[in-house]
Amino acid sequence: MRRIIFGLIIFIIFTVTGVYIVNNNLHNNNIILAQENECDIVNTSKENDEEDKTTEISRDGEKYIPIRVIVTAYAPYDNKSGMCNNGTPDTTATNTKPKRGTIAADPKRIPYGTKLYIPEYGYGIVEDTGSVLRKDKDNIRIDVYMDTYEEAIEWGKKEMTIYIIEKTR
């Protein structure tokens, strides 16, 4: 009988300790959830965490490099603010058509053609730029494409960790 009680006590101690370790890791790290050949990065840190996440993550021949940026949104086809686009709204700086996944950035900081993962938005490629993005010398800024002005306003301004995706093969 003593062995059974002793075994249960040891089991409870290891179970409680394991749950604490798992929960502690979930609050301090970015976790990659993989399903089939897709990869989603889930930020499990506290909402207002100022800590810069510097851990590179590799998966399926791609390296995810975290950088801290200010993310805003733009809607070139629904330009109610008058701030989007210096020319025609159907052409980006790289001569592509803006669509979901089009990202604008300062090409001196994040070059055209760079693949990014932005939490709450998804994957995108830097294909456009903007004067506000280039003028800010203290911060790295990007704009994510939205279909409507209302979606862009709803996105707002977010300081967050995004990921530059590089091929490793």
Report whether pLDDT(26) > 60.
no
- Alpha-carbon gap, residue 152 to 155, rounded angstroms: 5
| % of the chain surpassing 90 pLDDT | 41
- Alpha-carbon gap, residue 5 to 26, rounded angstroms: 32
- Alpha-carbon gap, residue 15 to 21, rounded angstroms: 10
Count Cβ neighbours within 10 Å for each residue of 40-53 and write b for 16 or more, e otherwise. ebeeebeeeeeeeb
Section 126-146 average pLDDT: 89
User: Higher model confidence: residue 143 or residue 15?
Assistant: 143
Sort residue 95 into left (φ over 0), alpha (ψ -120 to 50) or beta: left
Write out the H or E segment, with its range, that includes residue 151.
helix 149-155
User: Higher model confidence: residue 2 or residue 154?
Assistant: 154
Residue 106 near residue 143, CB atoms below 8 Å = no
pLDDT-derived band at 144 (thresholds 50, 70, 90) equals: very high
Residue 158 near residue 122, CB atoms below 8 Å = no
User: Higher model confidence: residue 9 or residue 98?
Assistant: 98
Look at the domain 52-167 and name its fold: Barwin-like endoglucanases (2.40.40)
- Alpha-carbon gap, residue 107 to 111, rounded angstroms: 4
| % of the chain surpassing 70 pLDDT | 65
pLDDT per residue as tens digits for the range 67-118:
999 999 988 877 665 555 556 777 888 989 999 999 999 999 999 999 999 9
| pLDDT at residue 76 in the model | 82
Write out the H or E segment, with its range, that includes residue 152.
helix 149-155
- Residue 18 one-letter amino acid: G
DSSP state of 45: S
Please tell me the pTM assigned to this model: 0.64
